[in-house]
A and B are shown apart, each in its own frame.
Chain A
C-alpha cells in the first residue's frame, strides 16, 4: 500500500516548472565566489557595533575560560584486530604452575584483556588440590613491579642489548680454560632447564654427556628399589667437568635429606600424607606454613580436622615460637630450640623404640612432659596411621624422627619414600666449597638465578667478595638485588607469568607453566639464556619462541611416551597445557622402610647441644617467607598469622622475659615496643620485642626475609620503609636480616644474649588486644568428645529472649525491630559459612580479597594508626587464664581475677583464628543510620555500598558491631603518602587492578561486597545456561582461594545448596546473634580434639541447664525486662557463666 503515492515538496516540483528543473540539476544552486565576496567594499566598511563587540568579547572570554578548564582525558584504545581469545569484559583463566624456589602450587591465573590480575589454586588438577598460600596469591603483583629489570645491564647499570651481553658472556665462558664455571641456583626442578644446563655443561664443561632429563627420572624410579645409596632420584650427580651446578636454598632441608640417606639409603624428602595421619606430632615443624610443601599438607591436614568427617586427627605441637601450625594444634608444648632432641628422644623412648643415649630429657618441663605423654599414648594407639615430623635441619634430629616413624610403621602409610618431593634440594656443603673456590680465584665465571646468597647467607659479605674474585659473574635475577648488583652482567629472566616452564615437584609428577602475558620487558627465561650461551638457539626478542619450542620438544620426546591416554602429541600437549600438570597417576605407593640410621651418633650430636640463657629460633612468616617477595606490598601489609604485625620483623619473646628486661608488654597504636639487641656469637640485631603468648621462656623468635635491600638496591618500593610526614621512599630496609644470625642451613641458635637498648620502636599491629574477653557469642569452641556425645546446647548455645508477661522464651530470630527484608525466602539470599575448625589463619583469603577487590595498600604508618583497609581480616584470639577455652569464662577464676585477668593471654594459650568481614546483616545497623542511603540492602540479602552516593559521615562504621567497614581516610590512589607503597599508583602497578571493581575515592566507606561482581557473573553463567544458580557458580575470592575449604558460599534460599546445609549444621552459629542484626554469615564451632575437663564440665552444665528450663526459664532471673513485641537488642542472655 502507498507505493503509488507521490510526495512533492512544492508546486514547482508538482508542476515540474523549468526553473525547478534547472535548480534540481545543479547541486549547489548559487555560485559563491570567495574572492568576489572579499573584494566587496561593503564588507570592509561594515563595522561591528559596540554591543556586538561586547557580545563577542563575552562569548570569547567565556569560551576561553571553559576551554581552559581541563577535562580529564581518559583514553580507551580499542583493539584494531581483536585477539581470538580475548573478549573484553570476560576473564580468561589459564592453568599454570607456581614455583619460586620454595613454594609450589598448581594455579589458575585470571587474565582480563590480556593482563593477569589474580591467582588462585587449581582445584581440578595437581596434588596441591587448589591450595595456595599468601605468597602465591600475591605473586601476581610482582609482575607489575616497576623495579623489575626490563633489559640486560652491566654492573654499572648501563643497559645493553641481549646480543652484546650474550657475546660478552659467551666469550668469557670460552676463555674459562682450566678454571671452573659455577652455576648457583635455588632448587631447580625444571626438567627443561636442567636439560638446557646439560647442554651448557657439554659445551663449556668439556664433558660430553647425553641429555639427562626425564629418562633420568625413570632410571631413578627403577633404581629406587635397590639398596644403592644414590642422590636425589631425579637428579643423580653427574660428572660435572668444569661446570659445577650448585643448588642453594635460603632455607635448607639438607638435614632431612642427609638423615634419610643414612636411615633409608635415599637422599630424599619423602612425600607426607597428612590426611592419613590420625595423630600428628610436630616438633618445631611449621608444616602448615613453611615446612617442605605446605600447599599440599594444608589441604590434607584440614580434611582430617573436620569433626564431622569419618575421624578427626589429633595434633600435638612442641615448639618454641607460636607458629601458624602450633596455633592450630590440639595440644601445644613449649620447648627451647636446644630441647628438640630431648622431645624427640622422649617420644622415641615412649613409643617403645628405645632410649636415645646421650640425650638428656630431664630439662623438659612438667607441662611439656605431660603433653608428650599424651602424644606418646596417641601415637601408640595409631601405629601406621601417625606422623612425627621435625622441623630441625639437623640430621641427628631427623634421624630420631625417622626412627620413631619407622618404629610406628608410618612409612607404609602417611610417609611415602617412594615418591619423594624434589623441592628443597639445597646442597650446603657444595655451596661452601664453591665459595671457597671462588675466593681462591679458581672460578672463571659464575652464573646465578633464583638465588640471592649475598642476602641469605649468614656471611653474605664473604660471598660478595667471592664474586669479585670471579672472572665474570652473571645473574639472571629479575631485580638488581643484593647479589645481582655485584655481578658483571644481569640478564633478567622473565617473570613466571611471562614464560613457559616445566617442573618436576615430585619424582613422578610433571607440571607446566604457561605465559599469560607477553613479557613486559626485554627479558627471557633462564633456560633460553643457557640455550643461547651454549649456542643451541638464538634469542629473537621478546616474542622469541625458542624456549617454548624447546620445552614442547622435550615433552614430546620424554613426556609423551610416558603416557598412554592421548593418541597424539598435540592432544597430550593440549591436555597438559589445559591441566598444567599430569594427573599424578602411577605414583608409587608407600612401602615400609627398614631403618638403618645411627641413633647413637644422633644422640651424641643432640646431647652435645647445650642451651644458653636465651636461644633463638628463626622462622618464616606466611607473608614474607624467605624474603623473595619482600618487595610485595600486599605481603608486607598482610598481618602476620599469629602476631598480626605488618611491615616489620621483630623478636618475639615471652611476656615474662620482656618484663624482666623492663620492656613494654603492651601493644597499641601509640604504645611503642621496646627495642632489644639480640646477640648470637659476634652477630647482633636490634629489633623491637614483641610480647608473644605461647613463646617458650628464654627464647626469641625472629622471622627471616626482612632487611632486604640493605645496600639501597632497587628491588621495589614495597621493600623499603617510608620516611617523613608524607611517607617518602627511603632506602632504609624494612626489618632486619635474621639470616646473618646463624650459619647457613641452621635455623636455631642455642646460645644468645638479649638486652634492652632503652629505645622504643613502633610496630604496626592490626590487632592489639589478644583475648576475646570470654565473650561466648563471638567465638565458640568445644572438645571432640563433647561434640560427639552431648546435645548441641552444650557447645552451641542459642540466645533466647523473654517476651510478654509470662516471660515466654523465644529465639532471638523471632524478634524484629524493623520490618524484615523480604530476602529471606524470596529469590537469592547469598550466605556464607566459615568453619573455625578448618580455618588455620593462613591469610590467603586476605590477599585474594585484596587482589580481587582492589583494596589499597596504606603503609606502615597508617596501619599503626589503625587504618588498614583490608575488607577481610583474620581475628586471632588467645585464651586467658580466666577462660577454660577461647570464649568460655572460667567462673571461679573470674571471681578472683576479674576483667584484668581476661585481658592477659595465657602463658601457653589456645588460639582461634576467626575470619571477619562484612556480615551482610539483614537487619544491618549500618543501613539505617546512613543519612543519604548510600548503603542499602539488596533484594538478594547483600549489604551494598553505593560509593558514589557516600558522603562519608562514617556513622555506619561506628554502628557496625563487627567493625568491618573501612573508610578512605585519604585519596589512596594518588595522595603522595601512598604512592610509595600502593602498587596501584604507577602506570604499571595499575595493571593489576580488577576492572570489575571500582577504585574508591577519598572520603567514602568501603567494605566486603561478598564479591558482588562474581555473584553477578555467576548469575549470568546460570542464565546463559538457562538453569538455576547452583553451587560453584558463585564463589567469593576468599572462599575460592581457601586452602582448607573453610569457607562455603552460595544461595541460602536454595534449600539444597551447600551453604544452606552448612548453616543449618548443629555447629553453626552467628556471631553476636543476640543483637539481632541477622547476618548472612555463619560460623561453625571450633572443635579441638583434646581433653579439657573444665570445659567439658561447664558445657555439660550448660546442656543440663538448657534442658531443664524449657518453658519457665524466666523464673530463675529476676532482671529481664518485659519485652513485648519488637525488641531486638539483647534483653538477657541465658548462656553459661552466670
Chain B
C-alpha cells in the first residue's frame, strides 16, 4: 500500500469507512430525489425540448433559419460545437491522464467528470450534424464502400478528421466510463430492494461478482483504456483546431492552434467540472469526498491552462504584426477594435485575467469564488470560439463581402436547448448513477482518509463490505457527518495550513462526542434499565463501569460487539488503560457472560 505524507491534506474527510462510502454514494440513488432535483430537471427538460423544437424547425425549413450569410457561413453552430467539445475534454483528462500520473485526487471527481464529458460530446456531436445543409445524406462523411451507393470521402478534409476524432473520442470515453461503473453498479445491485431496480442494475453491472479475476481484468482494462484515451485528449481538439488551422482565412490559418485549442479545452472542461461539482457536492452532501483540496487542485489546472491560452492570444497578436501580411494583421486589428470588439474584450477578460486570480491561495480555495470564475471561464471560452470563427471570416480578404453575423431566435434556441439537454442528462446521471467511483475511492481511503491519516482509525478494517446491516443507522451517520465534518471544511477553506492544526486541537471535545456516537452506532444503544453488571468482566472496575455507562454501554451484548476498532476508540475516549480491554478480551468475556 502506498503511503502518503501526513502533511498532505487528506482526500477523504471525516471518519469514513468503506461502508460509509457505499452509503454516501448509494443514498441518493436509493432514496427519494429532493424537490430541488425535480425542479431543476423539469427546467432543463423544458429548455431542452424547446431546443429540440428549434432543431426540428431548422431541419424542416433550412439552415437559413439561422443568422448565417454568404460571408459568415459558420457562426454559433461551430462555436457551440467547439465549445462543447472543449468542455468534453476534462473527463478524459481526469480519468486517463491523471490516472497515468497517479493523481489520487481524481478518484472523487472522475466519474462525474467523465459523465459530463460524454454528455458534452453528445451536445458537441449534435452541431456538426444539424449544421449540415442536408443532414439526411450526412452519412456520406463515413467511408462507406461504394456498393452502398456512395463515393469515397475526401481524406484531405479536416472536417472528415473531425468525424473520426470525435467518434473515436466519444466511444473510448463511453467505454472507459462504463467500465469504471461496473463494480459500482454491482454494489447498487446488491443493495437494491425493488425487483425492477435490481434487474436494471443487474443488467448494467454485467454480472460482476467481485472475484479477484474480475478485479484483475478491471484494472487491466482501465489501464489499457487510459493508455488509449491519453493521446485522444490531445488529438481531438488538435483536430478540431485543424478545421481552422488548415484554411486560408486570416485568423484561422495559424499553426499555434493545436496546442492552444487543447489547453483551452482543458481550461473550459475543468471550469465546467467545477461548476457542476460544486453544485453536486452541495446537493448530494458529498463534502467529505469533494472538498476544498480538490477544488484547489482543479483551480491550479485552470490557472495553468488559462495562462497557456493567454500566452497563445498574445502570440497570435505578435505574429499577426510580425508576419507583415496585410490581411493577417488586419484580422487581429479587427478582432480587437472592429465591430466585434466586445466579444474580443469578453474573451480576454474572462480567459486571460480571471484565471490569473487563482494565484491567490485564498481565492483558489474559496468555493464561491471558484464557482463564479468557473462560469466566467466558460463564458470566455464560448467567446473565444466565437471570436475565432466569426470575426475572422466576417471581414476577410475582399472588403466587398464584409458582413456581420446576427443570431436568430433559432440560433439561440438551439444553443440553450443543448444546455438544457446537457443538464437534463447530467441530473439524470446524478439521480441514477453512482456519482463517485466507490470502488476507486475505497482504494484511497486508507491512504488518504482523514481518520487514517491522523491515526484515529485502526489500520485495518474487519467490517469488510458488510454495510447492509447498518442501513438503519446510516441517516445518523449522515447527520453527524453533516454536523461535524462540513463545518470543519467550510471553516478550513479560507484558512492556511497551520490554522488547521489549531482548529483540530480546539475541537477535541467535539471529536470525542463524535467518536462516542460512532462507537454507539457500532455497539447499539444500551439502556440503564436493563444494565448488566459489567464489573463481572475482568478488567472492569467500578470506575470503568461508570465510565462505560456514561458512554452508554450497559449490557454484555454491547460489549460483546466490540472489536479492535472499538477498543481503540474506547481507549481514545476514556483516555485510560490503553490496550487493556483488548488484552483482557472484554468482548469474549461478555459473550460468555451473555450465554450464561
Contact = CB atoms under 8 A, between A and B. Distances in A.
Given A670-B404, A975-B62, A952 B132 contact: yes
A959 B247 contact: yes
Interface in A951-972: 951-955, 957-959, 961-963, 965-971
B213 interface: no
Given A959-B247, A1132-B323, A1133-B325, A767 B400 contact: yes
Contacts of B325: 1129-1133
Given A958-B73, A967-B133, A928 B399 contact: no
A953 B131 contact: yes
Interface stretch (B134-142, B221-229, B434-442): B134-142
B399 A771 contact: yes
B349 interface: no
B134 A954 contact: no
Contact of A867 (B64, B134, B140, B333): B64
Contacts of B132: 951-953, 1003
B74 interface: yes
A812 to B, nearest CB: 13
A669 B406 contact: yes
A1119 B324 contact: yes
Contacts of A1072: 397
A1107 interface: no
B400 A876 contact: yes
Interface string B325-354: 111101001000100000000000000000
Contacts of A931: 141, 153-154, 157, 159-160, 163
A967 B400 contact: no
A769 B400 contact: yes
A931 B328 CA distance: 26
A975 B325 CA distance: 44
A1138 interface: yes
Interface in A925-961: 925, 928-933, 949-955, 957-959, 961
Interface string A86-105: 00000000000000000000
B158 to A, nearest CB: 7
Contacts of B560: none
Contacts of B74: 954-955, 958
Contacts of B549: none
A928 B245 CA distance: 13
Nearest to A956: B73
Interface in B133-176: 133-135, 137-138, 140-141, 151-154, 156-160, 163
B517 interface: no
A55 interface: no
A962 B398 contact: yes
Given A950-B134, A951-B140, A669 B69 contact: yes
B71 A1077 contact: no
Contacts of B153: 931-933
A866 B70 contact: yes
Interface residues of A, number: 68
A678 interface: no
Given A963-B401, A971-B62, A1003-B132, A867 B154 contact: no
B158 A929 contact: yes
B239 to A, nearest CB: 13
A890 to B, nearest CB: 15
Nearest to B74: A958
Nearest to B158: A929
B20 interface: no
Interface string A968-981: 11110001000000
Nearest to A971: B62
Given A958-B393, A1002-B133, A929 B246 contact: yes
A951 B128 CA distance: 11
B125 to A, nearest CB: 14
Contact of A932 (B141, B402, B406): B141
Nearest to B243: A955
Given A773-B330, A951-B141, A954-B133, A969 B398 contact: no
A778 interface: yes
A9 B154 CA distance: 58
Nearest to B395: A769
B412 to A, nearest CB: 15
B360 interface: no
Contact of B133 (A768, A928, A952): A952
A258 interface: no
A769 B397 CA distance: 12
A670 B339 CA distance: 13
A379 interface: no
Nearest to A946: B151
A349 interface: no
Contact of A951 (B138, B158, B327): B138
A773 B326 CA distance: 10
A664 interface: no
A932 B151 contact: yes
A962 B327 CA distance: 13
A951 B63 CA distance: 12
B101 interface: no
Contacts of B249: 958-959, 961
B588 interface: no
Contact of A928 (B73, B134, B156, B326): B156
Contacts of A958: 73-74, 247, 249, 393
Nearest to A952: B133
Contacts of A428: none
Contacts of A772: 399-400
B326 A775 contact: yes
B133 A1004 contact: yes
B401 A1003 contact: no
A865 interface: yes
Nearest to B401: A963
B70 A930 contact: no
A950 B253 CA distance: 24
B399 A933 contact: no
A953 B247 CA distance: 14
A252 to B, nearest CB: 36
A1116 B402 CA distance: 34
A954 B130 CA distance: 12
B400 A959 contact: no
A950 B141 CA distance: 10
B68 A1117 contact: no
**Which residue among A668, A778, A899, A969 has the maximum number of chain B CB atoms within 10 Å of its CB?**
A969
A1133 B326 contact: yes
Contacts of B63: 952, 954, 967, 969, 1003
Contact of A769 (B138, B141, B393, B402): B402
A875 interface: yes
Contacts of A577: none
Nearest to B389: A958
Contacts of B36: none
A868 interface: yes
Contacts of B399: 769, 771-773, 775, 877
30 contacts: A769-B395, A772-B399, A773-B330, A862-B64, A865-B69, A867-B70, A873-B400, A875-B400, A914-B400, A929-B247, A930-B159, A953-B128, A953-B159, A954-B63, A954-B73, A958-B247, A961-B398, A962-B397, A967-B68, A967-B73, A970-B64, A975-B61, A1001-B134, A1005-B133, A1075-B397, A1119-B322, A1119-B324, A1129-B253, A1130-B327, A1133-B324
Interface of A: 668-670, 767-769, 771-773, 775, 778, 862, 865-868, 873, 875-877, 899, 914, 916, 925, 928-933, 949-955, 957-959, 961-963, 965-971, 975, 1001-1005, 1072, 1075, 1077, 1117, 1119-1120, 1129-1133, 1138
Q: Which 5 A-B pairs have the closest CB atoms?
A: A952-B133, A1003-B133, A969-B64, A866-B69, A875-B400
Given A949-B151, A951-B135, A958-B73, 20 more contacts: A669-B406, A670-B404, A778-B397, A866-B69, A867-B70, A899-B337, A928-B156, A928-B246, A929-B246, A951-B141, A952-B133, A954-B133, A961-B397, A963-B70, A968-B62, A975-B62, A1119-B324, A1120-B324, A1131-B323, A1132-B325
